[in-house]
Amino acid sequence: MGDVAPKEQTHRRAQARCRVLMLPETTAKVANNAITKGDVLGTARIAGIQAAKRTSDLIPMCHPLLLGSVQINFTIGDDHVEVEAEAEAVDRTGVEMEAMTACAVAALTVYDMCKSSDRTLQIADLTLWEKSGGRSGSWRRTPGGAHGEGASLGAASAAAKPGGSVPTGLAHTDGPPA
């Protein structure tokens, strides 16, 4: 684990997203609360919150954090359920892993509850979408920016890189990423 003892406590926030891909009939069942195992989204929300609180038990080098807030939201599309998790804390290290863990476990719960209705289920695009707080400041992924496509860093970040090239797909404010 990294030494975070000398760092100042600051307000930290992170948001992660992923999608559970499924047949349109399964999406309709989720929306209508017609999955035989029960309330898919309510159960997935609780699972995601519990997972965020246990992140340091699951990921060996994560520091235990006192989370101030964990929010799990869902958007139902024609052939998917999008999961969005947001974690917040006032601490010496970021909450990115807590947001990512919450998102992943909420998606796994959707998968578990729907698997008897749909063998085509897939979990896709688990991604950190934004973070704020700490020495590195704020960072936000731009839409379409997965795997280096879609946006730019700032001029200061580009100048700091050898050759001045700017990676795409990421947008920074207030400094480089952590």
**Distance between CA 98 and CA 47 in Å, rounded?**
13
Asked if 178 and 135 count as a contact pair (C-beta separation under 8 A), the reply is yes
Q: Assess contact for 56 and 65: CB atoms under 8 A.
A: yes
Give yes or no for a contact between 83 and 103, defined as CB atoms under 8 angstroms apart: yes
- Strands annotated E in the chain: 10-21, 67-76, 80-91, 122-132, 138-141, 170-173
Q: Which of 112, 118, 125, 174 is catalytic?
A: 112
Residue 2 backbone phi and psi in degrees, to 5: -75, 155
> Is 112 labeled as catalytic in the residue annotation?
yes
Strand 67-76: give its sheet, edge to edge: 67-76, 80-91, 10-21, 122-132, 138-141, 170-173
Residues classed as catalytic? 112
